[in-house]
Amino acid sequence: MQEKLFYEDEFEALNLMVSHSAKTPQQLAGFLFPHMKPASAYARLKACLNPEGDQRLTFGQILAAMKFCECYDPLMFACDETMHARPDRKAPQDEEVKIVEAMNNAAEVMTRAMRQLENLRNSNITQLRAR
């Protein structure tokens, strides 16, 4: 799918996110509004995507929708509007390496802390026996 160079407004970005997605608008509506009946959820989503309407998605709902749809037109629109460079996607393999590295560092800290605790306990035991 070709990334759009310019968006008319946030509603175009939101509608393109929905239309470019492999998910149907009904699926997105059910995801965003699970507490509602399917028809009501769909009607609410349509109202939120209508620039003439008075209902809007929250920032958190837009983030959740982008993740669910795996389309990021609203993010690109926000970057364009705030004069920020559009981001590149992170490679899952790179993220995995960072997470494993963080876990290994945390494990090292825990090992050192356990050693210090053990030394402290041994020191206390030795002091108690000396009395």
pLDDT tens digits along 100-112:
888 888 898 899 9
In-domain check, residue 116: yes
Nearest to 48 by CA among 24, 25, 23: 25
Strands (E), 1-131: none
In-domain check, residue 1: no
Same domain assignment for residues 100 and 131: yes
CB 76 within 8 A of CB 7: yes
Same domain assignment for residues 70 and 98: no
DSSP 83: T
DSSP 51: T
The range of the structural domain enclosing residue 107 comes to: 90-131
pTM above 0.75, yes or no: no
Same domain assignment for residues 77 and 99: no
pLDDT, residue 131, reads 65
Cα–Cα dist 127/119, whole Å: 12
Cα–Cα dist 15/69, whole Å: 11
In-domain check, residue 21: yes
Q: What is the pLDDT of residues 59-76, one digit of tens each?
A: 999 999 999 999 999 999
Q: Would you give the distance in Å from CA 52 to the centre of its chain?
A: 29
Nearest to 55 by CA among 14, 22, 89, 19: 14
* Whether residue 1 has pLDDT greater than 60: no
Lowest mean pLDDT, pick from 38-42, 59-63, 82-86: 82-86
Lowest mean pLDDT, pick from 40-49, 57-66, 86-95: 86-95
